[in-house]
Every structure is written in C-alpha cells, then in structure tokens.
Structure 1
Amino acid sequence: MTDALPKPLREALTDILATSLSADLPPRTQRLMHGRIELPGKVTAVIGMRRAGKTTLVHQLRQQRLAAGVPRTSLPYINFEDERLADLGSSQLGFLLEEYGRRVPEAYKAGPVTWSFDEIQLVPGWERFIRRLLDAGGVEVIVTGSSAALLSREIATALRGRAWEVPLFPFSFAESLTHQGTPIPADAGFLAAPERSRIERAFLDWLTAGGFPEAQGLDLATRSQLLRDYVDVAMLRDVVERHGVSNVLALRWLVRHLLGNAGSPFSVEKFYATLKSQGIAISRDSLHHFIGYLEDCFLVRTVWLDTASERQRMVNPRKMYPIDAGLIPIFDRTGRPNLGHALETAVLIELERRRCTVAYVRTPGGFEVDFSARSPDGEMHLIQVCADASAPDTAERELRALEDARALHPHARLWLLTATRDGAPADVPAGITVLPAYQWMLAETWTSDPQQK
C-alpha cells in the first residue's frame, strides 16, 4: 500500500512522470558497450562513478526501444537526483504505478513497460519496490547507481539473483572520437601519415583530458575545476555522508595520494606511517575502510598481485589507479606530465570496460608485468605498457619481463602497448605483439564475442 504523499511530492512525481512520457529524448553520444547490456527477466543495473554517463546509456536503451516500435508511453523515466524528490521514501513509490495506470491505462496490453530509475539508491529501501514491480509482471526495469557496493550487495540479496550489472566508465578513446565527430578508422594499423598523426594527437589529448563527457573540449583551467568538483562530490556524498566518515582530513590525504600516484604500489602500513608523521590520527582499519568506500563509488580501481595464494595476495602491495586518466595531472604534485601513468591507467580501464579480470604479475626472475588479464572467454593476456619503448635498454627491460612471465602463464598472449607507433622497439621476439595503445583500443575485437555485438 502506498503511503500518503505530501502535495509537493505528489505534484513533483506527477510532473516528472508526465514529462518522461512526452518529452523528446536528449541527443547524446552513443556509448559503445562490450558484452550484453540486458538479459530477459533481469533488472539492468547500470553502475559507475557520478558523471560518467549512466543517464546517457539509459536514454540510449530507451531510444533503441523507440526505434524498434515500442510506444513512447511505454518508456517512463524517473531521475531521483531531482531535488524535488529529496524526501521520497520507498513506501511512496507506489504512487508512480498508480499515476502511470491512470495516465496510460492500456500500456501493459501493448507489451512490456520499461521503467527506468536513475540514481535509485537515493531512495532508502528502493529494492523492495523494485522486487514488487518485478513480481507484478509485464515490465522491464533499468536502474542506475553510483555505488558498486549498494547495487551489488543489495540487488544480490533483495532481488534474489534477478539483476544484470552493467559497469559504465568515462568515455573510451573510441567514444571520445565519436563525441568530437571524428570518424573512427576502420583499421588504425593502416593509416596514411597525416591520418595517423591526427589520431595520435587526439589520443594524447584524450590521455591528458580524460574521458568524462562534460570535460571534453574544455580549457585546462575549467576542466581541472570540473574534475576536482567531481572528486569532491564523490568523497562527500558517496563516502562521507553515506558511511558517516568523520575524519575527512585523512580521507582527503588518501584521495590526493591515490589519484596522484597512479599505478604505484600502495601499502596501508606505509601510508598510515605517513599520516602519523604529519600528526593525523587514524587507525589502519579506517584506512582499509576508506579504500573500500572509494572503490565502491568507482573513484579508484585496485589491482592485486597475480597469485593463487591468498596470503601472497594480501601481503604484497596492491596497485591503485584513478577511474580516469584525466584525474592524474590534477592531483600529481610533481607538476610534470606523466604520460606513462596516464597510458597505464587508460589500458586498465579499457580492460575493465571489456570485462576482464585484471591483476599485475611479478615474474620468477623478479621482473614486473603491468597486467595479466583474463577475458570473459577465458583467454589470458599478459600486457606490458610503456609510453616509449624505442630506446634499446627500455625495450630490453619491457620485453624481457614479458618473456619471463611465460613461466607463470605459458599459454597467454603477450602484448607491449606504446603511446605512439614511433614508441615501438626496433626488434621484437617472436610471440609478442607490439601495438600503439590507440590501435589496440580501437580494434575492439581481441576479446569480444561477435555474436554479442
């Protein structure tokens, strides 16, 4: 039964619902997704950091239904970030169904109604409403949220396995080109010199600016402020407010460190000692919790050592990366451009975008390989990332690490990814594929199932 609604909430919900059934869908850059986005009978749960483009993907899915002949009135959409809905409770969500039934009484006879709920985690107890909606039948449901833990844990328990999670990241390089109106080359490995120069310039710009949609094309000062605001909102709303964090000073130190030192080994014990030396009191357990919260809201990503031993995995430092390479120059205090860190971050996020399971490798000979990646089809890849491996000593170090890693994964495909074609080494051992990273990213076929495209 729906709880009584105050008049302002009733009017707000009525207005939002009516608008969603009549307003034109906003034109947005097409998101290029890997794997299945939807499964019959499952809630499509789009998760990712704030401002990464989850709403765009929801409208993209609605647009696809319109193109397939689904009536506009069968596609209601509610954005719970609307400030008018700030006091809404889950027991009052039933009003939406009642109001929709009054407005479109024949809707369910025309086929399934697709309900889209944006940032639904803002409504406490939302999962009970979604379960009731599913149990009633005749619907498809799309939800979005900015907290991995919220959706993963609560959907898994409350919806009893009836959800399909779709992680969404900031623009990939291909999506950035599309957003700019730049054609994506059919084969980035065979380009005339002027075209290759244009693509490489765009790639280096993307590594610097990052992939957040609103940051595209902004000047440095504006972009920097915008991305700082994104980080502040993620910290304050998704960490401090949601988890009741009181030691905001320590949290800010941690965030600045993690975002400014992409790919560096991170030890809670060492960082704890650093804070202590600065007179900042915090427990080790709190730092562990903070890292978990930052992962949950997608601000940082963690890469663990590739090992079958849980003990070895836990005692070795993990590597931490920002969700987007564009955050690195804002929080890197050296003041120097770090193309290597940006490239490594971009490759990691691309691997996650392709739904790979990722770790880093320490070889028997004491070398390190940036990533081991197991694709959804089970194939193993060992990937070394080096912005410029053209110097003989650099090439020897990077290639030797890959060859030494064969002992751990003898059937893996070996890759060396560079920033540009000129960064490739002159001589490459058999069995190692060397590509500029933009060519590897634009190919989009090395782990994909063509039947899911």
Structure 2
Amino acid sequence: MNASHEVQRTGYLRRLESGKDRCDVVKVITGLKRCGKSTLIRQYIKKLKETVDENAIVYINLESREAKSIETYKDLNDYLASKINSAKRAYVFLDEIQRVSGWEKSINSLMVDYDADIYITGSNAYILSSELSTYLSGRYVEINMLPLSFKEYLELHPPSEGHDKYARFQDYIWYGSMPMVDPDGDEEFTSDHLVGIYNTILNKDVQFRLGVHDPVMLNNVCRYIMSNIGNITSSNSISENTDLSPVTVRNYLRTLEEAYIIYKAYRYDIRGKKLLKTREKYYVSDTGMRNTVLGNSAGDDISRQIENIVYLELLRRGYSVNVGSYRDYEIDFTARKRNKIEYFQVTQTLLPEETYEREVRSLELINDNFPKTILSLDPITRNTGNGIKHVNLLDWLLEATRL
C-alpha cells in the first residue's frame, strides 16, 4: 500500500463542498460499513479548517469510546449543547448516527435551535426511513458512498515493475475495493478482515434490524445473491432454493439492500419505456467481500464480476442504472442521468465472432441516437462501423469523470 498518503475522494468531497453553509439541508452520507465515510468526513473537515475557525467544528464518531454514554437523542442534545457556541455558526458532523435512539429528533432540534451546517453518516439506508422523512421532509440530501473506484485504487496501490495496471485490475477484482484492504499484504489476514466486516454487517445491521432468529438462512440468501450476480433472479427462485417463503425472502433482500451489501437493478423495457418490476438482477457492493465469503464456490469466471464493477462505476458517475430489455434481447445496462441515456454491453472479450455478433446485434436494434458502448478487456478494440463504440474497460474506468 502507498503509505505516504490516503486517497482523496474528490468526487464526494466536491458534493459536500457544494452543500457547505446550506443550513436548511442536512447532508446525509450513507454507504457500506468501512467503505470510507469517516475518512471522507476527516478529509472534508481538513479542507474546512482552511476557511473556518476550528472551534466552530463539532465532530463525534458515535461508535467511539467518547460516545459510549450517548445512547438517546436526549444524551446527544446535551452533548451538542456543551460543544456548540450559539453565538456563531457551527459545523456539526455526527458519524454513524444510527447508533443513537431517536437521533432524528436531535437533528430537528439542531436545525431549529442553532445556526448549524449539519452532516451525518450512517451504514444503513434505514436512517432514511419514514421517521427521518417526517422530521426533515424535503430538508436533506443523500450522498451514497461506494468503495474505491479503480482509478482511486490505482492511486492507493500504484502499478509496479512486473505488476502493471492489468495485474492491479486482477487484484481489484479478487481482493475488492474496500479502502483498508492491501492487495500486497497477507492474503489470509485480508480474507479474515473482509469476513469480519461481512459478519458484523449481517449480525449488527441486518439480523438485528429484522429480528432474525435463524441467521444461517439469512446468510444463505446473501450467499445465493453473491453467487448469482448479474443473473436474472426473483424472490420466488430464491425461495425455491432456500426453503423460505417469498415474503421472507423479500424482507431479507430489502434489508440486505438497506445495509448496502447488495444493489438491485430493475429491468427496463426500452421499447415500452417502462420499468419491469420482476426478474431483476442483483450486484454486490464489493467483489472482494463476495469472493472471500463464497471461497472456492466463487469460481474463476470474471465476466459477471467485471459486469458488477461496471454497474458500480455507473452509480459512482451519478447514473440511474437498469438492465435493458429490447424484444428478446438484453442490454446489460441502460444508464440515465438527467436527460442523457447511454447503453452498455460488458464482455470479457469481443474477439470471438459469435460474441461480436451477439453484443453488437443487441445494440443495433435500439432505434435511437443515444450513445452505445461495448466494454471489454481486449487491449485492441474493434471498429464496428455503425456508431457503436468498443472501448477497453480499463481505459473507461480510468477516464476523467465528474460526479
């Protein structure tokens, strides 16, 4: 690991900076546990100190020893009252806010009683529940944070002699994109670390949230999804493979999504221009966690894993992402951002003629002028001659982007 610095999460920092001094809006940073939310807050506070009096900044990690006595919103109110100077603007950072019972009441009080610019983080989407909507209706913006992009990963783990960017990409697939994972470190330690994070999320966030009495079955559902990333699936098919009712499966899946372990991509009917809320696809937030949890059963086919990586990268770039459906053909991703639409096919290689025909044909059928791109690991790309771009996946992942 490049120990001389940590990665600057510039896209997320830019979004936080755009909300600076918007005291009418709470900035809510969500994401998988250990994906870098606390580091992002520290980076932002460091920049903030360049223009703001340090004494105006209030930060507390609610999982820390300092916060062990803060259990309810009343405790949090007392703590904040002791730290905030009501005579001037305060910049308040509350890390892992979901640990405090009734915390949303404290946030509401902060907005009413103080001149405060408020930032909160949480490892569970449940913090954006009906309770928060009730207290802060229209007064918060969510910034969903993902683990490292490949571009950030290469900054933290630069290629070295005999270990080029393609070798680093193999590390990125296998070990994943969590910031604390060192691909050059001890493999067994890395695996144990990832399993520990996974178990903590399942036991503390998911199992507790659901009141699950059979954690084995919850784990089975999660493993099933991890084994089938990029495959069309449904709660009924999972039910048949786990002996759980479809209702229970749907509850498990929803809560796994809320913990940011998995993401769901609905199918989108391109001709009919509507979402199809059946037979969706699922992707994981980190391929390294997936590979570690599944062990030998993870397999060595990287096709679906690179599809997973493209899905997450499109989310990082601010797209709303669905699986495209056109007649009997599937488009891997239909990506939307405001009025912009892009279509993507993802394949390990486009060199075999049958693969070329299949991937190109699916995109050729779409009768509009939006960009159409095929991403593959081929170092040499093919000219389709029909407006469809063939781009090397690593070049695409490393291109300059803005959130």
Task: Give the structure-2-normalised TM-score.
Answer: 0.90
Residue number among 141, 156, 169 corresponding to 1:179 in the alignment:
156
CA distance in 2, matches of 1:208, 1:335: 10
* Structure 1 SS opposite 2:212: coil
1:303 offset after TM fit, Å? 0.8
Quote the RMSD (CA, aligned, Å): 2.5
**1:246 aligned to 203, 213, 217, which one?**
213
- For 2:15, the equivalent position in structure 1 comes to 36
CA distance in 1, matches of 2:172, 2:343: 24
Look up the match of 2:101. 124
Residue pair 2:291, 2:298 contacting (<8 A) in 1 also: yes
CA distance in 1, matches of 2:275, 2:370: 22
2:59 and 2:73 map into 1 onto residues whose CA distance is 16
Equivalent positions of 1:46-61 (< 5 A) are: 46-61=29-44
- Structure possessing the higher radius of gyration over alpha carbons: 1
Unaligned runs of 5+ in 2: none
The one-letter amino acid of 2:179's match is P
Is the contact made by 1:358 and 1:371 (CA closer than 8 Å) also made in structure 2?
Answer: yes
3-state SS, counterpart of residue 339 of structure 2: coil
* Alpha-carbon contact 2:229-2:308 (below 8 Å) kept: yes
Q: Secondary structure at the match of 1:93?
A: helix
**Is 1:166 aligned with 2:143?**
yes
1:18 alignment partner in structure 2:
none
Aligned: 1:200 with 2:163: no
Equivalent residues of 2:290, 2:298 under 8 A apart: no
1:259–1:332 Cα contact (<8 Å) kept? no
* Aligned AA (1:417): L
Change (3 A) 1:332 1:359: farther
Question: For the structure 1 residues 154 and 403, does the alpha-carbon distance in structure 2 shift closer, same or farther, using more than 3 Å as the test?
Answer: farther
* CA distance in structure 2 between the partners assigned to 1:335 and 1:126 by the alignment: 39
Count of aligned pairs between the two proteins? 391
**Residue 264 (structure 1) aligned with residue 231 (structure 2):** yes
How far does residue 328 in structure 1 lie from its aligned partner after superposition?
A: 3.3
In structure 2, do the counterparts of structure 1 residues 332 and 154 end up closer, same or farther at CA, with 3 Å as the change threshold? Answer: farther
Q: Deviations over 1:271-309 (max 9, x none)?
A: 212223xxxxx3211110000000001000111110387
Unmatched segments (≥5 aa) in structure 1: 1-25, 184-193, 277-281
Identity %: 25
Distance 1:108 1:28, change over 3 A: farther
8 Å CA contact 1:208, 1:342 repeated in 2: no
Corresponding position: 1:319 with 2:281: yes
Distance 1:284 1:335, change over 3 A: closer
Q: How far 1:317 sits from its partner (Å)?
A: 0.9
Q: Residue in 2 aligned with 1:5?
A: none
Question: Is residue 432 from structure 1 mapped to residue 351 from structure 2 by the alignment?
Answer: no
2:349 counterpart (388, 393, 404): 388
How far off its partner does 1:335 sit?
5.3
Q: Hey, what's the Cα distance between the residues in 1 that align with 2:374 and 2:37?
A: 32
* Change in CA separation of 1:351 and 1:62 when aligned onto 2, cut-off 3 Å: same
1:413-434 residue CA offsets vs partner (Å, 9 max, x unmatched): 1011112424x3x341321111
1:73 alignment partner, one of 46, 55, 59: 55
Aligned counterparts of 1:178 and 1:358: Cα–Cα separation in 2 = 26
| Distance in 2 between residues matched to 1:354 and 1:312, nearest whole Å | 21
Is the counterpart of residue 231 in structure 1 residue 198 in structure 2? yes
| Structure 2 partner of 1:19 | none
1:98 and 1:312 mapped to 2: Cα distance?
48
Deviations 1:322-367 (A, max 9, x none): 1112233222654532221221111111111122111111222x22
- Separation (CA, whole Å) in 1 of partners of 2:151 and 2:206: 31
Amino acid corresponding to residue 93 of structure 1 in structure 2: L
**Structure 1 residue aligned with 2:313:** 350
Q: Is the 8 A contact 1:127 1:155 kept in 2?
A: yes
User: Structure 2 vs 1, CA of residues 27 and 72 (structure 1 numbering), >3 Å: closer, same or farther?
Assistant: farther
Asked if structure 2 preserves the Cα contact closer than 8 Å seen for 1:174 and 1:442, the reply is yes
CA contact (8 A) 2:350 2:378 kept: no
Question: Which residue pairs with 2:240 in the alignment?
Answer: 273
SS in structure 2 of the partner of residue 289 of structure 1: helix
Counterpart residue identity of residue 42, structure 2: H
After superposition, the Cα gap between the structure-2 partners of 1:311 and 1:46, relative to the gap in structure 1 and judged at 3 Å, is: closer
State the Cα deviation string for residues 385-421 of structure 1 (Å, max 9, x = none): 01111222211111111112x14xx132101111242
Shift of 1:444: 3.5
In 2: Cα distance, 1:295 partner to 1:168 partner = 14
Q: 1:291 to 1:390 in 2, by over 3 A?
A: same
Residue 82 of structure 1, CA deviation: 1.7
Give the superposition deviation at 1:266: 1.3
Deviation at 1:93, TM superposition (A): 1.4
